[in-house]
Copies of this chain bind each other. A is one copy, B any other.
């Protein structure tokens, strides 16, 4: 799957329940790989691979503190993803508001004619 742009990488990273659970865990505070692996019945390499996808999408940063590494949420890509969805929602809502207005105007000005009756021809 070619996902070269930042927004595509963010959405692709979110398209997995394990990765979303990891982000939800990190939203509450930084965690070690061991902490992140704990809730999942999954091999350590599988957990590391999920973490790598989250890091590549810029959603998680890893910092080395003393002997262990801590993973922290980076919310900015989530904001970009949220903004994209909100924008489409706004365009869609505006369109339906306009349809409602048009319908209301048509009904006020001019009652809808009955369906054309073939019998009248």
Contacts and interface: CB of A to CB of B under 8 A. Distances in A.
Given A82-B89, A89-B79, A95 B27 contact: yes
A1 B16 CA distance: 9
Given A1-B15, A8-B17, A29-B95, A82 B79 contact: no
Contacts of A17: 5, 7-8
Please tell me the size bucket of the interface on A. 20 to 34
A29 B94 CA distance: 11
Interface of A: 1, 3, 5, 7-12, 14-17, 20, 23-24, 27-29, 73, 75, 78-79, 81-82, 84-86, 88-89, 91-92, 95
Given A1-B1, A14-B85, A82-B85, 14 more contacts: A8-B16, A10-B15, A11-B12, A11-B14, A12-B15, A14-B81, A20-B84, A27-B89, A27-B92, A28-B95, A73-B92, A78-B85, A81-B85, A82-B86
